[in-house]
């Protein structure tokens, strides 16, 4: 939003009306007429000086009121244009439309926060779920890895929309968008993969990357593959797991706080409803995900929508909506890191 122009105040200066010193008078002696003329001259000088002062003050007041605002009054977000919608894109609705229009929300809006680089010195891990190359490396991703309380596949191929838009493409695009917002706010952003690996990484390595980076917070981005009748998004938080390599005792509480902020921020930014098929009010807790079990830093997953549902799929394939999704994720992380 462009700042409003300052209101200009105009004054109507009122001048005192003085009696005319040269009006007709009874005749007086010469000495008296000289005295009167002298007094009249002094009066005229006084009136002229007062009028000049009033005009000067009036001009000063008007100039002060019309002075432009300093450039410091503009936030970074004022200078950014929203990304143009792709042909056939979905117009945001509900809470998402309000967020896009700059309406107040639970988290900062715009691709850069008004507070500037308030995340300087903080490290964030963004985990783009799956990999577009996983389908060509099925034997590699099928190997079992230890997640503490069980063993699971290294990774999976992920899901896709009915039209073939893959979860791996979706997650990497959203992560790239969120990374830019967070970098603009001063954060160091670490990715588990940047489309630069043939497959993977495995779920245990994804957790290890965040641990080794000593991330202050981590979010794993996904799209769900539930039955087509199901819709909505949900956030998955770690349950308390103490078994083998896993010990989530220290991260359960902060991860829960991050999860609630992410749920609220994502809904505010996108307008996406809570999942109607899993969890409660957009939140779920699990102890069977290696990326959470093995994490030593506060971490949550977000299933941004059900890619098998036609309505969710239409939104998730829209670049404008994906920008809103990234905004919700970045805003939630910003809220978490600036209040923890």
* Cα torsion angle, 318, 176, 199, 333, sign: negative
Cα–Cα–Cα angle for 86, 175, 321, rounded to 5 degrees: 30
166 to 74, 161, 183, 251, 313: CA distances (angstroms): 40, 7, 26, 31, 10
Could you give the residue ranges of the DSSP H alpha helices within 67-166? 94-100, 138-141
From the list 4, 7, 272, 303, the catalytic residue is: 303
- Mean pLDDT over 291-298 rounds to 98
Does residue 6 have a pLDDT over 80? no
Would residue 205 show up in a list of annotated catalytic residues for this protein?
no
* Contact criterion met (CB below 8 Å) for 116 and 109: no
Q: Please state, for a pLDDT cut of 90, what percent of the chain lies above it.
A: 66
Strongest mean pLDDT among 60-74, 79-93, 99-113, 286-300: 286-300
Q: Which residues contact 72 (CB under 8 A, 6 or more apart)?
A: none
232 to 41, 308, 333: CA distances (angstroms): 87, 11, 21
The segment(s) of the chain belonging to CATH 3.40.630.40 are 100-339
Q: What is the pLDDT of residue 180?
A: 98
Using DSSP bridges, classify how beta strands 217-224 and 299-306 pair: parallel, antiparallel or unpaired.
parallel
- Mean pLDDT over 51-73 rounds to 39
Q: What average pLDDT is seen over the chain?
A: 78
84 to 87, 113, 320, 321: CA distances (angstroms): 9, 20, 7, 11
Does residue 283 have a pLDDT over 70? yes
Predicted confidence band of residue 85 (pLDDT cuts 50, 70, 90):
very low
Does residue 99 have a pLDDT over 50? no
- Mean pLDDT over 25-47 rounds to 44
Does residue 37 have a pLDDT over 60? no
Q: Rounded to two decimals, what is the model's pTM?
A: 0.69
* Contact criterion met (CB below 8 Å) for 179 and 189: yes
- Mean pLDDT over 176-198 rounds to 98
* Cα torsion angle, 332, 335, 336, 337, sign: positive
- For 100-339, CATH gives 3.40.630.40
* C-alpha of 229 from chain center: 31
Q: What is the pLDDT of residue 340?
A: 79
Residue 318: CA count within 13 A, CB half-sphere: 21
């Amino acid at each position: 939003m462009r700042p409003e122009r300052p209101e200009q105040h105009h004054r109507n200066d009122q001048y005192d009306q003085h009696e005319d010193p040269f009006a007709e008078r009874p005749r007086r002696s010469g000495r008296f007429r000289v005295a009167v003329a002298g007094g009249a001259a002094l009066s005229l000088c006084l009136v002229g000086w007062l009028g000049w002062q009033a005009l000067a003050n009036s001009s000063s007041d008007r100039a002060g009121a019309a002075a432009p605002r300093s450039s410091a009054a503009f936030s970074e977000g004022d200078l950014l244009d929203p990304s143009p919608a792709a042909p056939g894109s979905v117009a945001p609705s509900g809470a998402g439309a309000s967020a896009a229009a700059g309406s107040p929300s639970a988290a900062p809006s715009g691709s850069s926060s008004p507070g500037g680089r308030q995340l300087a010195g903080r490290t964030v891990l963004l985990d783009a779920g799956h990999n577009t190359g996983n389908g060509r490396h099925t034997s590699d991703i099928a190997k079992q890895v230890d997640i503490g309380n069980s063993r699971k596949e290294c990774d999976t191929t992920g899901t896709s929309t009915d039209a073939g838009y893959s979860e791996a493409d979706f997650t990497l695009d959203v992560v790239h968008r969120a990374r830019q917002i967070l970098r603009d706010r001063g954060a160091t952003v670490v990715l588990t993969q940047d489309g630069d690996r043939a497959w993977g990484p495995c779920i245990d390595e994804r957790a290890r990357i965040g641990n080794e980076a000593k991330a202050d917070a981590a979010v794993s981005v996904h799209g769900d593959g539930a039955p087509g009748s199901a819709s909505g998004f949900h956030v998955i938080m770690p349950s308390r797991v103490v078994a083998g390599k896993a010990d989530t005792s220290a991260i359960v509480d902060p991860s829960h706080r991050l999860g609630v902020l992410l749920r609220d921020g994502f809904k505010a930014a996108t307008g996406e409803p809570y999942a109607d098929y899993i969890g409660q009010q957009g939140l779920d807790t699990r102890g069977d995900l290696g990326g959470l079990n093995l994490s030593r830093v506060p971490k949550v997953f977000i299933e941004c929508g059900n890619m098998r549902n036609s309505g969710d799929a239409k939104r998730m394939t829209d670049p404008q909506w994906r920008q809103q999704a990234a905004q919700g994720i970045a805003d939630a992380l910003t809220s978490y890191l600036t209040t923890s």
